[in-house]
Structure formats: C-alpha cells, structure tokens
Chain A
C-alpha cells in the first residue's frame, strides 16, 4: 500500500477534550518517540510530502469551546478545534467577522486554518490570517503547553509565536487556543467582472488597478477551460485569455461608487464590456473563489507566489506548459493556484520541476504542491521546489520545539 499524507500510517486517532489531555498525549508520544499527526477538520491533509512514519492521529475537534468573546473589544478567544462556519455564525450575531476566507468552512477548524496559513481572495483587502492572530496557546513536541501574545490587539511582549506558528503546519507545536482580532461585517459587496483578450492586456489592466481610485478587497484573475463557460460569469467572449474579477466591500454607498468608478476606468482603458455581480450572485462568487484551490479531491493543485506584476506572465507560462491547467490567482498579491483535474507521477518532472517551478523562480517567487491526490508519489523537489536557503535555521527552530521530531515528521519543507 502506498503511504500518503491523506492516509498517514496511524494506528488510531486520539481526540483529547482539553488542552491538558492533549499535552499528556504529546508528552507520552515524545517519550515513546511515536509520530503524531495533528488534525483539525482534515481539510488540509493533502499538502506536503506523504507521512512515512507510523503514529497517532491527534484530533483537536473536541477542543471547540468559546473561551471569551468580548465583542466590544472586537476580539475573541476560542479553542483551536472550532469550525470556521460556527465561528462565522457566532461573530455574525454581533455584526463582526474574521475576514479570512477558508474553504470547507463547515469542517475546517480555526486551528487548522492558522496552522496551514490558509487564505483566499479577501487577503488583498484585509491581509491574511497571520494579521488576525493576536494570542496563541499550543503544546510543543515535548508535551509542554505554552502561550504567546495575549488578548489585546496590540502587544509586543515576547517573541511573536502567533506569526511563527501560523503556517508552521503542525511541525512545531499543536495549536490549542487562539485569540483573534475581528472586523465589522461589511454592509454590502459586489464584483465587477470583465474578459481580457490577452495576457499583455491583462497586465496593463492590473497595473492600472494599482493606481485606481477604488479600494478593491479582492483582485482575481482566472483562466482555463472551466472558467470560460462558467454559469455565474456567463460564457467568455470569443478571444478571451483570462477573466478579471474585482471584489469590493464596504458601506452600500461605497460599493455603489466603486462599481461605477471601476467600470468607468475600464472603459477608459478600452474595456467596453464589464458586468457587475451583486446580491446573492456576489456571495456565490466569493464562495466559489474561496473553494477553488481545494475543489477537486482527485486533481493536483500547485500554489505559486510571484511578483504581482509577473502574475500574467506566470499564468501564460502555466497555460503553455499544460493547457488543461485551471487557474485562479489572487493577482493583487501575486498568488496563483494552478489546478490539474488529473495528474500522474510521470508528469511531475515536466510540469513541476522543469515547468512551473522555474517559471515561478523567473517571476520572482516559487511554486509548491498545494494539494496532491492521496495516491500520488512525489519527490521532495517536486513538492517544494529548489531548497530554501533558510531551511537550516528553520530546522534548528523545529528542533527546539520538537526535539524528538514527532510532530508531522517529514511533512514540512524544513523537517524531513
């Protein structure tokens, strides 16, 4: 049997009900040198290299209490296993939100979203999850519970483990509780969408957007077969290379002004046809763009992050390397997801190692495998690209948190 990240060779799942119980499990595992695979909602397991060591799955889903929600302070303290959807519903009762997009919100947990640094289209306007974590409690690989940050929105006492643990993928510690900074719910939202004939033109329009009078919340450039016949966006115009979707949020008067203004600016740039998608259509579009990177369980998704000005060049390269590629980019941030409906191991070399990875490096960034089918065997280089120069110091940080190397062994860039 092929051993993969999706089905780690674990003998059982432990679901502690308290952080203390969780710490005891980790301490026991450390003593026995048993590998532990922390898991929240299980929505982000197809990332990284497959697990090779047998061990235990450690679920945080029972740690799902709301510890404190002082709404007037616009902060909340919750345990890590709380689902994003239930968090969203709770915050909505106070007219507040965590403006971070997480796919599969009904199962994804806040701890998982933080551990994987998941973000979506809204990061252009609001920043990513790292910008909202102001306090964190976790258990390190020795079974020691520790915390950093606090419950106030501004705090520089001690090292900022809120940032260090965000995106650390459970390789340093198991997150048990977090305090988040919140924002008010936006009164209104809409999308303005246009089709763009060429990638060169797309870059011109994106560059103009940097100087636009409007304040976008999301700048999404999408390309590939499925986007060309999307029922929400309508069929793409005949000679369309990519579709540009700009999401705006704010007070109703602001959203109305921004949609009009952007259409005006686009007309001046020679884009005669654009459409505004608002009301329920807008909500559906936010959700679709949020889910896209993980939509297909069987395919492979690559995440590239490049200079924003190189996004169109990278997208064009990705389409040239393999025309099946379905692409979504948070173009304002230089983040590009390239999704292949099907992918086989022997495509890894031409498509990844000799294709997207050098294209990403040329565009000022890098490309990693974001989502990989359970039965696909890939090399370290295919998943992570060229060795990161900082991986030595990352490995030494890992050793301090997890001296026995039991937390998600082998899954991370720096912890093989």
Chain B
C-alpha cells in the first residue's frame, strides 16, 4: 500500500483494537510473511488482532475505506500459502478469538471462536463421550477457523469425513463489513447451503468469526494394527482388499521406508527399518463387531504378503503409534533443513501407480522424497526434502512437485485433498477445471467479494480485483 497512508490506517486500527492489538514494525511482521508454505513470502503492512466480531467488522470497514487488501489468518499452519498476504495490506489474525463459547452435549454441538485450536476442543470434551471428529495432524496448533477455511481433513476422514461434514453453521464478516450468520444449530435451514460454500473457500468469501460444529460420539473401542510390508505394491493392494471387503476403517495410513527411519529415530516405537511400507490401520466402533473386523483385516494383509501384522496391545501403545504418525512431519527435520509436502489425491486403486511415479520423478530431479499419507482416501503426501537456501534445489523441488500433481490429475484425481489451493497450486486450477468452471467460481466469489480486497490472488487464477491473471505473486525465498 502507499506508505504515506499507512500511519493513518495504523492509528485508526489502534483505535479499534487497542495498542496491543496492532503490529506494524517490520521486525514484528516477519513472522507473518508466510505460513507452512515457505517458498513464497511477503510481509503484510500491518497485522491486527481483534477479539470480537464487531472489531473484525470495524477493521474490514477501515480496509475498504483505505482501499487496502486484507486477509484472515489463524495459526498459519496452512501448507499452500493461503495466509500469504499478496500485495501486503492488513492481516487479520484471529488467534485472540479463542473462546469455546458453548458445548451442548444433548444437542451434540459446540460453538467456538475461529482462533480456538483444534485440540483444545477435543481436550474440553474429554470424558464427555463426545469429540470433534476432524483431527488434522497439525491439530495441536491449527485453529478451527483455519480448518473451516481449508476444509481440513486428517487421518480419520475415511470414516468420519472432513470439516465440512461437521460444520453446522458459521457467523462471518462479509468483505463489506456486514456480519451474517449462515446455518446454525438447526439442520437444513431454508435456502442455500452457504456454510457448505464457506467451508473450504480459503478465506476468499468471508472472515469467519464463529463456528457451530457437530460433535461425534466416541467409539466404544478401537483395534489398531500395524501391517508391515516388503513392498509398497503389497501394502496398497492390501488397502484395496480391505475396502473391497466392505470394511470402512476409521483410519488407514501409510508410511514408506524413508519416513519410517526418521520417525523411528524421533520416537523409538520399534518400527522395522527394513520394511518398505507400513500400514497403520484402525477400526473403531462397537466392541461387539471389532474382533471380527480385526481378524478380517489381518487375514487380508497376510493374503497380500504382509510380513507381519502387529496389534497395538494397549491404549498407550495406540497413542504412541498415532503420535508417530501425526508428528511424522516434525520428524522430517532430521532428514533435511526444509521440506515441501504435496497433497495430491488419486483414486485409491491408483496408489501403486502414483507411488512408482513419485519414485521416478524424485530420481530424475535428484530430490529425495519420502511418503506418509492417508492411504484409505487416496490422499498422498509426498514430502520433498531440500534446502531452501539452495536456489537450484528449490527449482528442482518445484519442478518435481508440479510433475507429481500433473500425474495425480492424469489419474483422475486432484491436486489437493485437504491443504487447499492457496497461492501454491493456483496454476493447476486450469488443469483441473475448464475456463467455464473457473468463471462460475469467479462469479460466486464476486457475489461475496465484489471489490476483491479480501484475500486477493488466492485460489482462483483470475481472482484479482482487476481480473488479471495471477501467477505466483509473492515468490521470493531463494529464488
């Protein structure tokens, strides 16, 4: 924005949220220059920390008055650059709106502010017999507002669905500053399913200030298994066999040898380091039916050449297994200084093919790639290891990532299962969707966000206010 107008805007923002609610020094703003996608960076001109929806409204109105772009941010764990402040402007950080406003077990819902960290809700519900089902691996840090923006998934989506399947309604500030409620605690509200549209809109339609979420009954029991395989193909065939047998596991996760080494070093679970792939398989539900499902899964793993199938013997062992899985990304730090994870999806039957292609792509670009992913959903997360200080490595990582995602599209899949398009994958939208598809999406965006000041240059290739084509607007890191 024009630097001369910045002090006036900062003063006005301070008047709304107080002195401790505004950051405008460059050294403070560097924290907000990117999210979990570190390849592109850009500082906002100012970061502001509202505590109420009314403050969000006032901030949004000021942004309109000063004609500056603005965007919401939760914990910044997004992996696709959804929180990158393209063109600078005002970053509205929602982490101070962190109250769980209501938990109602009789009607099975909770009302939370957007800055509530996903796992806080789970902790608040402990012992009640209910939980909030979406559990992204970043749940210890990511916010529910951010989960709404990206329609987050997690390991348990196979059986329980993603965020949109658990959101009953939202309160949101529209880009003109109007406060609205879509949906709410009663189901099937008349008219359009606007909560369904807002979830996954990556902050391009409105800024969510309150969320009504559905709570889910805790399962009576679990059976958590570890299938150990000599080849990736055997492991993926076992997945197909399990699904084909009519079993819907609560989770079906895969780790390849590359990631196993790092995870084992970090958590000392006792994973066999020579295994080519392991499957983490969990069924949950009524005790009455679990042993039957467990036995069938063990049988199907063995029929697909599993070397061994281990059963988590205790709750503690189960928790450790899940810790290994959910913190696998953290363990990647042991393998390389930086990593970039992709989020492609393929029909599950295409998993053996896509994993072979990933190995080949990594080899050609001389990039080491390890895999830990939601196999039951066909949602791959190849992790490309590199050093972001080395421009040539960055270039090769981008090239390899692009090829992997192109392969996913060629398999009839998608370039993102749960991380979002953000800025990272904006160029792929043309490959997934026709010009007509994108035009209809742009029209919907226009109906909410006509001036285009909210989250410009995100998600849609034609999403700028001026309708200009956007291509990686903020790229800076090591380029």
Contacts and interface: CB of A to CB of B under 8 A. Distances in A.
Given A153-B378, A400-B447, A160 B439 contact: no
Interface stretch (A37-45, A267-275, A317-325, A384-392): A384-392
A156 B349 contact: no
Q: For A211, A366, A397, which residue has the most chain B Cβ atoms within 10 angstroms? A: A397
Contacts of B459: 158
Nearest to B428: A157
A299 B439 CA distance: 43
Interface residues of A, number: 83
Contacts of B346: 152
B106 interface: yes
B437 A73 contact: no
A212 to B, nearest CB: 9
Given A156-B420, A207-B106, A305 B200 contact: no
A83 to B, nearest CB: 24
Contact of B190 (A306, A388, A396): A388
Given A210-B105, A389-B181, A144 B440 contact: yes
Interface size class of B (residues with CB under 8 A): 35 or more
Contact of B444 (A167, A306, A400): A400
Contact of A401 (B196, B417, B443): B443
Given A72-B244, A391-B191, A365 B186 contact: yes
Nearest to B459: A158
Contacts of A305: 186-189
A307 interface: yes
Interface in A115-171: 117, 127-128, 130-131, 140, 144-148, 150-164, 166-168
Nearest to A23: B436
A355 interface: no
B478 interface: no
A184 B248 contact: yes
Nearest to B180: A390
Given A72-B243, A159-B201, A184-B248, A154 B444 contact: no
Contacts of A397: 192, 197, 444, 447
B412 A151 contact: yes
Nearest to B240: A72
A276 interface: no
Given A391-B191, A393-B180, A151 B347 contact: yes
A74 interface: yes
Interface string A295-331: 0000000010111110000000000000000000000
Q: For A117, A207, A400, which residue has the most chain B Cβ atoms within 10 angstroms? A: A400
B289 A157 contact: no
Interface in B420-447: 420-421, 425, 428-429, 432-434, 436-441, 443-447
6 contacts: A150-B412, A152-B378, A160-B201, A258-B286, A393-B447, A399-B447
Interface of B: 105-108, 129, 150-151, 153, 157-158, 161-162, 164-165, 174, 180-182, 185-197, 199-201, 217, 220, 240, 243-244, 246-248, 285-286, 288-289, 292-293, 345-349, 374, 377-379, 412-421, 425, 428-429, 432-434, 436-441, 443-448, 459-460
